[in-house]
Amino acid sequence: MKRLLSMLLVVCVLLSTGATIITAANESKITVWAWDPNFNIPVMDEAKARYNKIHPNVEIEIVEMAKADVEQKLNTVLASGMREGLPDIVLIEDYNAQKYLQAYPGAFADLTNEINHQNFAAYKTELMTLQGRIYGVPFDSGVSALFYRTDILAEAGYQASDLNNITWDQFIQIGKTVKEKTGTAMLGFDPADGGLIRIMIQSAGEWYFDENGVPHIVNNEAIKEAMVTFKKIVDADIIKRTSGWNEWVASFNRGESAAVITGCWIIGSIKAEESQAGKWAAAPTPRLNSPSSVNYTNLGGSSWYVTENSPGKDLAVDFLKKTFAADEDFYQKILVAQGAVGTYLPSLDGSAYTEPDPFFGGQKVFSDLAAWIEKIPPVNYGLFTYEADSAVMVVMPDYLAERIDIDGALRRAEAQLKNQIFF
Amino acid sequence: MTVNPKMPRAKATRAKKRGITLHDKYGWLFISLSVITLGVFMLYPIINSLYMSTIASRGMIQQYVGLGNYRRLFGDTVFLQALKNTLLFFGVQVPVMLILALIISSLLNDKSIKFRGIFRTGIFLPAVTSLVTYALLFRMMFSLDGLINTALLATGIIREPIPWLMEPFWARVTVMIALTWRWTGYNMIFYLSGMQNIPDELYEAARIDGANKLLQFTRITVPLIKPIILFTAITSTIGTLQLFDEPMSFSSGGVTAATIGPGNSLLTLSVYIYNLCFKYMPNFGYAATVAYVIVILVAVFTIIQFKLAGDRR
């Protein structure tokens, strides 16, 4: 009885180790981790199909997880120091890139000599550069825009030219008129969302940190103006307050707000409301009054990274090289199918980009966005974007309620941020 | 089997004196699986996390800091806010919920009430609903133009819609309402089962002596189900101090939002631990330190509750 049990055990152990050896030896397989079944996953599927046409023997497994789960698994496996259990290619949000690169040195493959990064938007390459080496393949852009309802704006007496290259103050003024004349709010607005602040400060080429990665909030004119503007928007009563993503999307899908200012990835959600076809247009994002601020900025976006110790590393690099870093037609396809605006510069004047979009009243909206991508000020997001984002937004309710003045708010935010950063 | 399981006790004791018997061997064999599993998955993590709490890390880059992490806690405003929020949830929500559960259960224990089964099921039902479903529904109901505001406006109780999830105070109120809705029925079931064990004669005697319902409740019901009240108080304390699900699902966007609730008003210690590991620069050591704070809090509050209840067992 005992012998039988132990034999069974041995067989089990042998079988399982055998299985791992077999999978490890299968070098013509790539595993990819990504999130969003409506965006990144179908894009990767398209890339897979194209690569398999050239290399039919390569098996590409695309694992779909929620974004938080990807980050959770990646952090856990990397921190444990294990080399198994990691994918060959992983999608990482741009705000997190430096954090992963610096917290897990040697975990990601150096692609400086593998990929021609000159072909990608400068700001995307910048955020994945560490000590002169470039570690990823840039993917989608979060180039932001002022999307607005032409019909509602026209009712308030505004034309496209009135919204072109405006400042936030002008935007607020327009919003007041719109609210007054049509009763519609100008923006769906989540008071807990720090996205607008990030849009504003990147437009001035600033971030929460200076070039050495030291928190830079107290004397940062861009952050100061961004927070003041945030309050002006709230005080002007031109917003429809929402909580969470669904309510926010519903605010413009239902026609309760006349404009959306965010990354271009929102286009899919805007177009989801087909009854509003032909009533939308896109203009450059409003800028701050500060002379360094431009009308071109970014919110979000992510890129592909190859893990250094994966068995399929070379294959994974080759896969990315031949699809995301070479295939212009691929980018046209994903733009049409998923609305994914890539950052691969040679693809940005392709046929799909120059096509007039009837949903946007015939505006060549993607061609406009592509032109703005190249003008986005590059900033180094550093290691602690989420800590900083939280530090600024924590003081926001007190600042909005005027329990604290702007300088006090900035001081408190910086103090909290500094406290979050150890050694 | 070579050993008769019905071996007389006397024989077994004698055998023990000679050393390990077959009986013992099998005993160890049978419990070995659970002992090893417990050791690997419970004991080892507990000890290792204590060691981890002396280390600060940026992902793989680690630094031994001794008690540095514990000292950091006192200056960490985010931690202090999380602690404050957690204690607030504990201090306000737990008593309200338990008192409510007591009242409801004593009402439903009245044998003259019709359809008691339906009421009991109805009140218990929230405890078995899925978290995501109810969080989603609550967020819809408590949105600015949601059901609750519409109803309150229509009845004239309020004039302006309440910004439920958009202002720190109201966000906490919303989560407390949600927690109470979900867990009152669960505690009520314990009280009901306790109350059903109280003999009717006691109430009858009290009635004859002229005690009214309130007096019966405070002098008979509560003292007799005190052990159960203590039990629910302790489980609710632990549950609230580890509160994670509701803040995560009620804050806008959960992981992606800048703060957990407006101005971090819903940030609890458990959510902070999550953020320290997965959202912020991964610092598992400091996260372990915060986890130990929860352990200490639970221990302290449980001891206090035992003392207050005067239970010597």
Tokens 């005080």 locate to A235
CATH number, residue B132: 1.10.3720.10
Which structural domain, as residue segments, surrounds residue B185?
76-309
Among A7-16, A29-38, B55-64, the range of highest mean pLDDT:
A29-38
Reported confidence tier of residue A337, pLDDT bands at 50, 70, 90: confident
Instruction: Tell whether B170 and B286 lie within a shared domain.
Output: yes
Instruction: Tell whether B189 and B85 lie within a shared domain.
Output: yes
Is A103 touching B (CB cutoff 8 A)? Answer: yes
Of B39, B69, B99, which residue is a domain's last?
A: B69
**B278 contact residues in A (CB cutoff 8 A):** 68, 71-72, 75
Q: Which residues of chain B have a pLDDT value below 50?
A: 1-3, 7, 15, 254-255
Q: Which of A99, A386, A419 sits opposite B76 (nearest CB)?
A: A419
Of B50, B69, B88, which residue is a domain's last?
A: B69
What are the C-alpha distances in Å from B289 to residues A413, B69, B82, B223, B292?
24, 7, 14, 39, 5
What are the C-alpha distances in Å from B138 to residues A147, B80, B158, B177, B251?
30, 28, 19, 10, 12
Of B53, B69, B85, which residue is a domain's last?
A: B69
Residue A374: how many CA atoms within 13 Å on its side-chain side?
A: 13
Residue B11: how many CA atoms within 13 Å on its side-chain side?
A: 9
CATH 3.30.1050.10 for domain A155-298+376-420, yes or no, is no
Q: Where are the domains of chain A?
A: 29-142+300-349, 155-298+376-420
Instruction: Tell whether B64 and B81 lie within a shared domain.
Output: no
- Its pTM surpasses 0.90: no
- Determine the Cα–Cα distance for residues A90 and A304; give it in Å rounded to an integer: 6
User: Do the beta carbons of residue B170 and residue B80 sit within 8 Å?
Assistant: no
- Determine the Cα–Cα distance for residues B262 and A84; give it in Å rounded to an integer: 40
- Residue A364's CB is within 10 A of a number of other CB atoms, namely 16
- Residue B4 within any structural domain of the chain: no
Tokens 């709490």 locate to B53
In this prediction, residue A270 carries a pLDDT of 92
Reported confidence tier of residue A332, pLDDT bands at 50, 70, 90: very high
In this prediction, residue A338 carries a pLDDT of 87
In this prediction, residue B3 carries a pLDDT of 45
Which amino acid does the sequence have at B50? L
How many helices (H) does chain B have, and how many strands (E)? 17, 2
Closest CA to A319 of A137, A91, A78: A137
- Determine the Cα–Cα distance for residues B119 and B104; give it in Å rounded to an integer: 10
A345/chain B closest Cα distance in angstroms: 29
Instruction: Tell whether B22 and B125 lie within a shared domain.
Output: no
Closest CA in chain A for residue B263: A394
Tokens 């505006």 locate to A363
In this prediction, residue A423 carries a pLDDT of 64
Range list of H helices, B114-225: 116-124, 131-141, 147-154, 168-195, 200-208, 213-216, 222-224
Instruction: Tell whether B122 and B173 lie within a shared domain.
Output: yes
Helix (H) or strand (E) holding A125: helix A122-127
Closest CA in chain A for residue B62: A103
Which amino acid does the sequence have at A37? P
State the CATH class of domain A29-142+300-349. Answer: alpha beta
- Residue B41 within any structural domain of the chain: yes
Strand partners, A283: A146
B164/chain A closest Cα distance in angstroms: 9
Reported confidence tier of residue A285, pLDDT bands at 50, 70, 90: very high
User: Do the beta carbons of residue A287 and residue A203 sit within 8 Å?
Assistant: yes
Strand partners, B247: none
Rounded average pLDDT over A360-372: 94
Residue A17, classified by CB atoms within 10 Å of its CB into exposed (0-12), middle (13-18) or buried (19+), is exposed
Instruction: Tell whether B101 and B141 lie within a shared domain.
Output: yes
In this prediction, residue B256 carries a pLDDT of 57
- Region of B244 (left: φ > 0; alpha: ψ -120 to 50; beta: rest) is alpha
In this prediction, residue B6 carries a pLDDT of 52
Closest CA to B282 of B55, B66, B70: B55
Closest CA to B176 of B102, B250, B280, B271: B250
Instruction: Tell whether B264 and B136 lie within a shared domain.
Output: yes
- Residue B39 within any structural domain of the chain: yes
Q: Mutate which of A2, A223, A403, A422 to disrupt the B interface (most B C-beta within 10 Å)?
A: A422
Instruction: Tell whether B164 and B221 lie within a shared domain.
Output: yes
- Residue B2 within any structural domain of the chain: no
In this prediction, residue A3 carries a pLDDT of 54
Closest CA in chain A for residue B161: A241
User: CB within 8 A of B218, min separation 6: which ones?
Assistant: none
Instruction: Tell whether B96 and B239 lie within a shared domain.
Output: yes
- Determine the Cα–Cα distance for residues A29 and A49; give it in Å rounded to an integer: 14
Reported confidence tier of residue A322, pLDDT bands at 50, 70, 90: very high
How open is the CA angle B237-B240-B242, to the nearest 5 degrees? 110
- Determine the Cα–Cα distance for residues B36 and B42; give it in Å rounded to an integer: 10
Closest CA to A54 of A330, A271, A307, A364: A330
Tell me if domain A29-142+300-349 and domain A155-298+376-420 are identical in fold: yes
The number of C-beta contacts closer than 8 angstroms across A and B is: 127
Q: What is the DSSP letter of A275?
A: G
Instruction: Tell whether B283 and B214 lie within a shared domain.
Output: yes
User: Do the beta carbons of residue A365 and residue A371 sit within 8 Å?
Assistant: no
Contact B279 A245 (CB under 8 A): no
Is B253 touching A (CB cutoff 8 A)? Answer: yes
- Determine the Cα–Cα distance for residues A169 and A20; give it in Å rounded to an integer: 61
Please tell me which residue, B242 or A245, carries the higher pLDDT value. Answer: B242
Helix axes A385-400, A406-420, angle to 10 degrees: 150
Instruction: Tell whether B154 and B65 lie within a shared domain.
Output: no
Instruction: Tell whether B187 and B281 lie within a shared domain.
Output: yes
- Overall number of domains in chain B: 2
Rounded average pLDDT over A143-147: 96
Closest CA in chain B for residue A248: B252
Q: Please report the DSSP string for B19-50 in residue order.
A: S--HHHHHHHHHHHHHHHHHIIIIIHHHHHHH
User: Do the beta carbons of residue B134 and residue B182 sit within 8 Å?
Assistant: yes
